[in-house]
Amino acid sequence: MSPTAVVAPPPADGPAGGTLRRRRAPWPPSLRGRATLALTAVAVALTTALAVGVWVSATQYLLYTRQNVTLAQAVANAAQVQRGLSAEGFLPAELLSQLPRETGSVSLLADDGEWSTTSLRIGREELPEALRTAVARGEPSRQRIAVDGDPYLAVGLPLPGLQDAYFEVFPLHELDDTVRVLGVVLTSSVLAAAPLAAAVGWWVTRPALRPLERISAAAAAIAGGDLGARIDPRGDPSLAPIAASFNATAAALEQRVRADARFAADVSHELRSPLTTVLAAVSLVEAHADRLDPDGREGLALLRSEVRDLERLVADLLEISRTDAGDPDLVVEDVRLAALVGQTLARRAAAGGGSTRPTVAAAAADVVVRADKRRLERVLRNLVDNADTHGGGLTAVTVERAGPHACVLVDDAGPGVPEEERGVVFERFARGSRSTRASSDGSGLGLALVSRHVQLMGGSVTVTDAPGGGARFVVRLPAVDPAGGRP
> What is the rounded distance in angstroms from the CA atom of residue 259 to the CA atom of residue 263?
6
> What pTM value is reported for the model?
0.50
> What is the rounded distance in angstroms from the CA atom of residue 8 to the CA atom of residue 15?
10
pLDDT of residue 89: 67
pLDDT of residue 154: 92
Say if residues 123 and 109 touch (Cβ distance below 8 Å).
no
> What is the rounded distance in angstroms from the CA atom of residue 11 to the CA atom of residue 437?
31
Please list the alpha-helical segments (H only) found in 28-172: 31-86, 92-97, 129-136
> What is the rounded distance in angstroms from the CA atom of residue 104 to the CA atom of residue 234?
73
pLDDT of residue 442: 57
pLDDT of residue 368: 92
Supply the DSSP symbol for 243: H
In this prediction, the residues of the chain whose per-residue pLDDT falls under 50 are: 1-22, 438
pLDDT of residue 155: 92
Q: Residues with Cβ < 8 Å from 416, sequence gap 6 or more? A: 435, 465, 466, 469, 470, 471
> What is the rounded distance in angstroms from the CA atom of residue 70 to the CA atom of residue 101?
10
